[in-house]
Amino acid sequence: MSSPQDTSESSAAQDALSLSSSARFSERFSCFGRSCSEWTLLVLSMMNVFIIIGISAKELHSSLSQRTCDPSFIFSIAVLFAAGFGSCFIIHGVLCQRAHSVYLHLASVFLAVSYSIVDYYFNVEHRDNFKIARMVIGVVLGMISIYIAMKVTTRNRWTEFTIIGASDGLLEMYKKLCYFLMLLKLDFEAGILLGIFSLTEALENKLHNILLLTGILVYSLAICIIGSIAVKKELKALVFLFIVLSFVLPVWVPFQVMYFECPLQNSCSHEDIVLAYTRLGAGTSGIVLRIYICIEVMKVYKNFGYGLTDHAFAGLVASESTNLLSRPRALNM
């Protein structure tokens, strides 16, 4: 009769054998250095993006042919931009094994699908089968992509943060740095979307709305550049400038409320009311995101001077899509 110790050892051996068989199965069905799951994630994600962009482009063409700039037109621009913005990140994320790029793509698709749902359910007069298809396909493929992405990015074989010669503490600081840079890109996208939702009144040649649109675009780009340079070069003065400029965005809310007259008028259409509330919601969400980013930049700031910008560490890692570090990446384990 076998002892409990022998039983546990036998169970451990079987588990190890199972994992080994699974690894061999994954390697056998890999292609160009990427597993079936990774290629499936890339193909499904790009398929979803192409469908969303194609239907949104068709809706834009219909609105332009009718020479109308209604709220449905604005929602189509926002959906198209969000899906297009995230498309390059899924390619970079899967092919270069960058988990944060994959997450940024998923966040962009989530925004695109969310605006598709709002456009379909609240812009009743412009419902059609194409919008139903965009919404349903976006939700289904988006959920599948999220499930596969969670499995793929949590595997040990993804070597983004497995760098020979770097300590665990240094890698943890590097993770925080990459996470912050991802948030900067997401914040930039949110700023552009906020500008897009201000297009309706801006195209009516109202000067204050044109200035608002331009100011949001310039401000979002400036914040992204300042924050990126501050953490890449470890410039403490720029970090504090970034935090100060970040609190400029909350000024937008009372300014927007001041011109929030449409929902209070009986003559305002239902679609214009939906767009007004969406614009206000986008601005409020941007403020919450900006506060969270300020918290994260302080975490990165505390790691200044601990070797992230040293040549020894910079020689081991590749630059991110934002040129995080200007040194070539060494081979990983």
Single-letter residue type at 213: L
Note the pLDDT of residue 112: 93
Note the pLDDT of residue 260: 53
Note the pLDDT of residue 94: 85
Note the pLDDT of residue 303: 81
Residue 5 CA from chain centroid, whole number: 49
**Is residue 283 left, alpha or beta, with left meaning phi > 0 and alpha meaning psi from -120 to 50?**
alpha
Under 8 Å between Cβ of 321 and 101? yes
The rounded distance, in Å, linking the Cα atoms of 262 and 63 is: 22
Mean pLDDT per 10-residue interval, the chain, length 333 residues = 48 46 49 75 92 89 71 86 90 84 93 90 78 91 92 71 58 83 92 80 58 80 91 88 83 58 58 76 85 91 72 46 36 32
The rounded distance, in Å, linking the Cα atoms of 223 and 260 is: 26
Domain spans of the chain, in order of start? 34-160, 163-327
Give domain 34-160's CATH number out of 1.20.58, 1.10.287, 1.20.120, 3.90.25: 1.20.120
Output the six-digit token pair for 293. Answer: 């980013």
Note the pLDDT of residue 59: 82
H-state helical runs in the chain: 4-28, 36-65, 71-95, 99-122, 129-153, 168-196, 199-202, 207-233, 236-246, 252-258, 270-301, 311-314
